[in-house]
Structure formats: C-alpha cells, structure tokens
C-alpha cells in the first residue's frame, strides 16, 4: 500500500491555511519575514546614524548660500558657443558660475574645459535641465542662491526659424517667460538678456540705433522681440535690474585656444558663415554657398556687422557691473562697421590659407540686405568699445581652434561633473 499520510502532512506545512475564505500564513515563514525586515531596518538606521555623524551631512552647498563679496551668476545656455565664452570670462573675473543647459545645441566638452580650468570647489557647477520644464527650473532656483542671470539659452538660426517657427516661439519666448517668472518668485534681482539685431528687421536707414523701430521679418527676430516685450512689461512694476543686449553677427573664439565654436553637423546649413567657411577650408564641404547676390549693397551680397565673441562677453560683464535696480538698459553690441559676405569670404581665405570654392545661390528666406550698428550708446554708458575689429585676425583665431579640434569637443560626457 501507499503511505499518503506523510506526503499530505508535508504538503500542509508548505501552504497557507484557509479558514472561511481567508488565508493565514505559516507562522514559521512569518517569523522569517519579520526577521529579515528587522535586519534591514536596523542596517538602514545604522547607515543614517553614520551619515549624520559626517561633518558634511548638514553642510549646505556653497552654491546655495549668498556669500558676501561673491556674485553667483546663472548662465543659461552656458555649454553653447557664446555662453561658454561668457562663463569663462566670469570665472576668470572670480564670479561663481552655475551653467544650465539641455545640450540640444551646447557641448559637454566646453563644460569639461571650464571644469578643468577652474576645479576649485564653489567656482563652477553644471546642471542638465530644459528651461521649458518650469518645475525643474523652480527646483534649480530653490536649491541655489543666484545673484544674477545671464540668459543666453536659445535656438538662433534665421533660416531654421522660417522652417520651424513654433519651435522658436516656444524655445525663445516661452522659455524666457519661465526664467523671468522663476527669477521673480525667488527674488533674483538682475537679468542680462541676450537679444539680437534681428529684432530690427530691415530698417530704412543705417546705422541702427537703439531707437530704430523694431520690425522683425523672421520668426527668430519676432520671438526675441516678444521676449523683450515681456521683460519690459514686467520691469515696469519690478525693482529688477535689467540689461538687454542686441548683438550682431558673432565670430571668433577664445584667443588662448581653450574654447571654440562646434555646432552640430546636421545644423550646418543653418549655421554661421564662419563655420561654413571653415568646413569648406577643411574639405568637409565641397565649397561655400553664398545665398543671395542681388541685394541692394555695394557688391550684391548681404552686409553684416561682425562682432568678436571676446568683445561680446566683455559687453555682458560690463552690463552686469552697471546694472541698477528698477532700471532697464538696452544696448546694441557691434563694431559700427558693416562688411559684405564677399568681403568676409576673402578674409576667411586669407585666415585659412585655402582658396575656397564659391557657389552662388538664390536668397535665403528671412535674410535682409544690410545691418550694422551704431555703438555710441554702449560706448558712452558702459564704457565699452569693440577691440577685435579685424575680420582676418578674428577668423584666424577661430581657425586655429578648428584645426586642433576637427571633431569639435569630441565625446567627453563620461568625464564631466553633472549636478
């Protein structure tokens, strides 16, 4: 005969008891679970106790404290071309800097360079975030004690803006509103806003002064003007110190070769003419395309005011130093001299030593014939004057960086400190 009693007895020991539709666990298994829970809780309590004994456990970050004699500047878009150069200048001048960037156009490699140059605690931090995320932006302001904001972060290509206008209104206008609202909520008192000469459109007379009517003709310029209007309306009932810098076409790079311009390859068709010249000189592109030769200018090509990035960031620092509560300063940042695209290309050929092939094409949508500044106001009020006004020299400086960084900043994400 088969002995069923032992098997049935063992089975009962390994299953729950069912009484009236309710399951009751085996007491031995319950005790085992309780023991594991007690051990886990004890270890967790021990870890917390040990952490609290650490001298740094309750020590707030220096970035979260307003420190006498130290100005903490939030640089939005600080991983980008202009923003990274501004961060470099601020750090050299002993400012405390927080960079916020979503890296859609910026480069982690630029941040890495800055971290290597200024490794001391409390000098520089990088936060990966999108300014379109209001909750994330509020969290950043809650955890940091900012004294001022330099707002560079923006998509900034005229041609691209005509193809994707909603992207530009969202990225420029909406995101600026988020930054401004958060600054007001956290009582950050100084804003240096990065604007553009594109807000003027195509004026009837040259040079452009700050009083020239703003009639932008492309979504990039329109989005920037809308952002300016929001800032100006807010400032009427605020004690915030505001500086709006409308700058012209930016070229050049750090004279010491530490930073440069490294746009994403897929954006090449929309990018700055200097980048296109360098790509042609390096053989990345078969030649340089000049779009538009029938403008009402001396040689038929567009005329622009080219401002060196070193001069541009100097203007931002001077604006920061001169900003006053309840005051709004609006300034054109340019050289006061216009150069045609053909003149620019000739300067690029001399700077690179390469005979670049030129292709002439129809006009690009959204472009205007002639734009150059009258910088007398910024010279008088901020004591600023462009110093790097030789096209060939500015392009030669940028070219040296390009030759040493054929792949831009390369892949450096694994070695950058992100907070």
- Which of 220, 306, 331, 368 is labelled catalytic? 220
Task: Write out the DSSP string of 275-303.
Answer: HHHHHHHTTSSSSEEEE-S-SSSSSSS-E
77-87 pLDDT, tens digit each: 999 999 999 99
Q: What are the helix and strand counts (H, E) for the chain?
A: 14, 15
Six-digit token pair at 307? Answer: 């401002």
pLDDT of 60 > 90? The answer is: no
pLDDT of 375 > 70? The answer is: yes
What are the phi and psi torsion angles at 319 (to 5°)? -65, -40
What are the phi and psi torsion angles at 219 (to 5°)? -60, -30
Whether 198 contacts 294, CB under 8 Å:
no
| Tokens 């490699």, located at residue | 109
Residue 5 is predicted with a pLDDT of 42
pLDDT of 176 > 90? The answer is: yes
Rounded Cα distance between 376 and 43, Å, is 69
Residue 51 is predicted with a pLDDT of 54
Six-digit token pair at 322? Answer: 């001169």
- Cβ neighbours of residue 385 closer than 8 Å, sequence gap 6 or more: 375, 379
Q: Residue 70, class by beta-carbon neighbours within 10 Å (0-12 exposed, 13-18 middle, 19+ buried)?
A: middle
Six-digit token pair at 237? Answer: 């009932």
Residue 214 is predicted with a pLDDT of 98
Residues 414, 407, 98, 164: what is their CA dihedral angle, to the nearest 10 degrees?
-110
Residue 25 is predicted with a pLDDT of 44
177-211 pLDDT, tens digit each: 999 999 999 999 999 999 999 999 989 999 999 99
pLDDT of 245 > 50? The answer is: yes
DSSP-derived pairing of the beta strands 241-247 and 303-304:
unpaired
104-157 pLDDT, tens digit each: 999 999 999 999 999 999 999 999 999 999 999 999 999 999 999 999 999 999
pLDDT of 341 > 50? The answer is: yes
Rounded Cα distance between 106 and 78, Å, is 8
382-415 pLDDT, tens digit each: 999 999 999 999 999 999 999 999 889 984 443 4
> Active site includes 360?
no
Rounded Cα distance between 283 and 157, Å, is 23
Rounded to an integer, what is the distance from CA 293 to the centroid of its chain? 33
261-311 pLDDT, tens digit each: 998 776 666 668 898 899 999 998 899 989 899 999 999 999 999 999 999
Rounded Cα distance between 160 and 34, Å, is 63
What is residue 72's three-state secondary structure?
strand
208, 275, 217, 212: which is closest to 248 by C-alpha? 208
Q: Which helix (H) or strand (E) holds 16?
A: none
Whether 118 contacts 99, CB under 8 Å:
no
pLDDT of 48 > 70? The answer is: no
| Tokens 């000098």, located at residue | 123
Rounded Cα distance between 264 and 279, Å, is 12
pLDDT of 172 > 50? The answer is: yes
| Stated pTM of the model | 0.84
Residue 57 is predicted with a pLDDT of 47
Instruction: For Cα atoms 230, 78, 189, give the angle at the middle one, nearest 5 degrees.
Output: 45
* Cβ burial 239-271 (10 Å sphere, 16+ → b, else e): ebbbbbbbbbbbbbbbeeebbbbbbeeeeeebb
Q: Where are the alpha helices (DSSP H) in 338-390?
A: 341-352, 376-382
Q: What is the mean pLDDT of the chain?
A: 88
CA dist 87 to 36, 67, 279, Å?
52, 19, 26
User: Would you say the C-alpha torsion 315, 317, 323, 328 has a positive or negative sign?
Assistant: positive
Task: Write out the DSSP string of 21-69.
Answer: TEEE--HHHHHHHHHHHHHHHHHHHHHHHHHHHSTTTTPPPGGGS--TT
């Amino acid at each position: 005969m088969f002995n069923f009693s032992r098997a049935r007895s063992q089975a009962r020991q390994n299953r729950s008891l069912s009484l009236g539709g309710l399951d009751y666990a085996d007491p031995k298994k319950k005790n085992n679970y309780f023991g594991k829970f007690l051990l886990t809780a004890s270890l967790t309590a021990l870890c917390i106790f040990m952490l609290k004994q650490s001298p740094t456990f309750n020590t707030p970050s220096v970035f979260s404290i307003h420190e006498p004699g130290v100005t903490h500047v939030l640089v939005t878009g600080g991983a980008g071309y202009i923003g990274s150069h501004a961060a470099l200048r601020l750090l050299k001048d002993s400012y405390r800097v927080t960079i916020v960037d979503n890296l859609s156009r910026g480069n982690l490699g630029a941040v890495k360079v800055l971290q290597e140059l200024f490794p001391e605690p409390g000098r520089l931090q990088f936060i990966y975030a999108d300014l379109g995320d209001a909750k994330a932006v509020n969290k950043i302001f809650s955890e940091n004690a900012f004294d001022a904001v330099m707002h560079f972060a923006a998509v900034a290509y005229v041609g691209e803006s005509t193809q994707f206008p909603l992207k530009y209104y969202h990225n420029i206008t909406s995101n600026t509103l988020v930054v401004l609202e958060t600054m007001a909520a956290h009582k950050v008192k100084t804003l240096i806003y990065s604007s553009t000469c594109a807000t003027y459109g195509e004026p009837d007379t040259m040079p452009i002064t700050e009083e020239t009517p703003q009639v932008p003709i492309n979504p990039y310029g329109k989005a920037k003007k809308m952002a300016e209007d929001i800032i100006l309306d807010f400032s009427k009932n605020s004690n915030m110190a505001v500086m709006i810098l409308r700058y012209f076409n930016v070229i050049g790079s750090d004279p010491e070769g530490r930073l440069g311009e490294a746009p994403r390859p897929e954006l090449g068709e929309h990018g700055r003419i200097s980048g296109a010249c360098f790509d042609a000189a390096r053989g990345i592109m078969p030649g340089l395309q000049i779009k538009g030769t029938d403008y009402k200018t001396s040689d038929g090509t567009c005329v622009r005011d080219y401002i060196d990035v070193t001069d541009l960031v100097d203007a931002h620092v001077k604006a920061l130093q001169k900003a006053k509560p309840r005051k709004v300063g609006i300034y054109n940042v340019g050289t006061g001299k216009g150069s045609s695209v053909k003149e620019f290309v000739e300067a690029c050929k001399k700077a690179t030593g390469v005979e670049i092939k030129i292709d002439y094409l129809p006009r690009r949508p959204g472009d205007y014939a002639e734009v150059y500044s009258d910088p007398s106001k910024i010279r008088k009020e901020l004591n600023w004057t462009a110093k790097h006004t030789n096209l060939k020299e500015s392009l030669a400086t940028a070219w040296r960086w390009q030759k040493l960084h054929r792949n831009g900043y390369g892949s450096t994400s694994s070695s950058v400190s992100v907070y």
